[in-house]
């Protein structure tokens, strides 16, 4: 019994640090990634995964309303997230997107940030250092965060003066002492963040685990629109108690504005909607796939899409089968179970299982070729090689776009 409980739950942590105004009233909180309850710093290995974990924990575990109340939620977003603003499952009116200093301030990023703002989000430029070429980004931003500790008094003063002509609110961060605070106030700075006011508070909660395999099945079902079925989605979601728990918690949050009671998985799916379910599924996958697991997800998705595109290139029927076969051919690595055991638990035709296990038939042959190409093994047939090369590049491009489309 105890072992099952441990397997069904894990701990999740994040930190929050207040941002205050000149009267020391809280106007918002920066929500920060923490690996565990005793971590003093973020120690981010993978920015996308870390951001996903912060948002996922806020939505499904703690509740954004419990973390920030009616105040703003400041969250660091890496470039990969910023390049695709579609489908972010969070109340955008409360969200302040912190654009990190290493985001790469180019025309592509600027265009994407305009989409975020149009969708109702506000922008903060984090650890900012003024340069005239960054003027379009300043014009788009609502907040600019200046690092008091790194800049020092003189350079901090210069940055404040450079920003006076812009319609932005300055947040002095890493304010460590009373003298720092008074110095900033004399310059007319409106908001403050730092150890002088409060250190980041680490918050921890138990969280129900979601099976990665379930998420991959949902993702596969949602992607294959030709055979999409609410009945099938209901069946997949219903097999994972942790996922049902998270979806119901999400529906129960004030963010959704739901007033009706939910008494079935099917109703939950209908209320969330297909696009939002896709977005939530992607978010949960990203939050789990930090570091090595993020790389693993990329490998799985590239193989699956490569197999599908190869089949499409050859004019094979039922191309969605190749996608699923490619995905399931690596599911043993994802779940930590033997491949035959994993496949044996799924309602799959024997012919399909044999194609994955023993590489029989056309599907099995396509899997073999995709795996050979990916591992750098010799492809004897030149036409096979050319088709694999073209479809591989397309698969990688698709996966890159997919992984940031949250």
pLDDT at 390: 94
Instruction: Check whether residue 66 and residue 119 sit in a common domain.
Output: yes
Confidence class for position 1, pLDDT limits 50, 70, 90: very low
Instruction: Check whether residue 304 and residue 273 sit in a common domain.
Output: no
Of the residues 142, 171, 205, which one is the last residue of a structural domain?
Answer: 205
Q: Find, among 366, 373, 403, the residue nearest to 390 by Cα.
A: 373
Instruction: Check whether residue 23 and residue 172 sit in a common domain.
Output: yes
Instruction: Check whether residue 57 and residue 194 sit in a common domain.
Output: yes
- The pLDDT > 90 percentage for the chain reads 32
Q: Is the pLDDT of residue 335 over 60?
A: no
pLDDT at 5: 34
Three-class secondary structure assignment of the chain: CHHHHHHHEEEEEEEEEEEEECCCCEEEEEEEECCCCCCCCCCCCCHHHHHHHHHHHHHHHHCHHHHHCCCEEEEEECHHHHCCCCCCCCCCCCEEEEECCCCCCCHHHHHHHHHHHHCCCEEEECCCCCCHHHHHHHHHCCEEEEEHHHHHHHHHHHHHHHCCCCCCEEEEECCCCHHHHHHHHHCCCCEEECCCCCCCEEEEEEEECCCHHHHHHHHHHHHCHHHCCHHHHHHHHHCCHHHHHHHHHHHHCCCCCCCCCCCCHHHHHHHHCHHHHHHHHHHHHHHHCCCHHHHHHHHHHHHHHHHHHHHHHHCCCCHHHHHHHHHHCCHHHHHCCCHHHHHHCCCCCHHHHHHHHHCCHHHHHHHHHHHHHHCCCCCCCHHHHHHHHHHHHHHHHHHHHHHHCC
Give the CATH number for residue 96.
3.20.20.450
Instruction: Check whether residue 225 and residue 110 sit in a common domain.
Output: no
Instruction: Check whether residue 45 and residue 161 sit in a common domain.
Output: yes
Instruction: Check whether residue 61 and residue 168 sit in a common domain.
Output: yes
Of the residues 251, 282, 313, which one is the last residue of a structural domain?
Answer: 282
Instruction: Check whether residue 214 and residue 310 sit in a common domain.
Output: no
Pairing of strands 9-21, 26-33: antiparallel
Q: Is residue 159 within 8 Å of 173, Cβ to Cβ?
A: no
Instruction: Check whether residue 165 and residue 92 sit in a common domain.
Output: yes
Confidence class for position 268, pLDDT limits 50, 70, 90: confident
Structural domain boundaries, residue 386: 291-406
Confidence class for position 398, pLDDT limits 50, 70, 90: confident
Of the residues 257, 282, 307, which one is the last residue of a structural domain?
Answer: 282
Instruction: Check whether residue 218 and residue 156 sit in a common domain.
Output: no
- The pLDDT > 70 percentage for the chain reads 80
- Number of folded domains that form the chain: 3
pLDDT at 255: 64
Instruction: Check whether residue 122 and residue 200 sit in a common domain.
Output: yes
Instruction: Check whether residue 229 and residue 198 sit in a common domain.
Output: no
Whole-structure pTM value: 0.62
């Amino acid at each position: 019994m105890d072992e099952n409980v441990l397997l069904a739950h894990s701990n999740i942590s994040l930190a929050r640090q207040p941002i205050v105004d000149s009267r020391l009233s809280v106007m918002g909180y920066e929500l920060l990634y923490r690996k565990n309850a005793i971590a003093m710093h973020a120690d981010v290995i993978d920015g996308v995964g870390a951001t996903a974990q912060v948002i996922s924990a806020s939505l499904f575990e703690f509740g954004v309303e419990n973390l920030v109340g009616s105040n703003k939620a400041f969250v660091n977003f890496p470039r990969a997230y910023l390049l695709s603003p579609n489908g972010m499952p969070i109340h955008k009116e409360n969200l302040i997107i912190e654009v990190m200093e290493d985001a790469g301030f180019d025309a592509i990023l600027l265009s994407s940030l305009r989409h975020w703002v149009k969708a109702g989000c506000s922008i903060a430029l984090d650890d900012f250092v003024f340069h005239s070429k960054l003027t379009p980004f300043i014009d788009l931003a609502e907040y600019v965060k200046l690092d008091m500790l790194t800049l020092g008094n003189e350079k901090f003063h210069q940055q404040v003066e450079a920003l006076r002509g812009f319609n932005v609110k300055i947040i002095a961060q890493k304010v460590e002492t009373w003298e720092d605070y008074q110095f900033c106030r004399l310059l007319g700075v409106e908001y403050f963040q730092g150890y002088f006011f409060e250190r980041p508070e680490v918050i921890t909660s138990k969280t129900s685990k979601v099976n990665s395999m379930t998420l991959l099945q949902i993702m596969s079902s949602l992607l294959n629109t030709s055979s999409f079925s609410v009945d099938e989605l209901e069946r997949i979601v219903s097999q994972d108690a942790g996922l049902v728990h998270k979806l119901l918690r999400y529906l129960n949050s004030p963010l959704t504005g739901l007033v009706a009671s939910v008494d079935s998985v099917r109703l939950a799916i209908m209320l969330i909607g297909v696009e939002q379910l896709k977005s939530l599924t992607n978010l949960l996958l990203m939050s789990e796939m930090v570091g090595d697991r993020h790389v693993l997800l990329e490998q799985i998705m590239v193989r699956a899409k490569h197999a599908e595109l190869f089949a499409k290139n050859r004019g094979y029927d039922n191309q969605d089968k190749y996608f699923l076969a490619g995905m399931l051919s690596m599911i043993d690595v994802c779940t930590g179970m033997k491949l035959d055991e994993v496949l044996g638990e799924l309602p799959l035709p024997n012919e399909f299982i044999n194609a994955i296990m023993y590489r029989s038939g056309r599907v099995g042959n396509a899997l073999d070729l995709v795996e050979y190409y990916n591992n750098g093994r010799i492809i004897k047939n030149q036409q096979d090689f050319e088709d694999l090369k073209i479809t591989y590049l397309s698969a990688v491009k698709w996966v890159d776009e997919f992984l940031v489309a949250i």
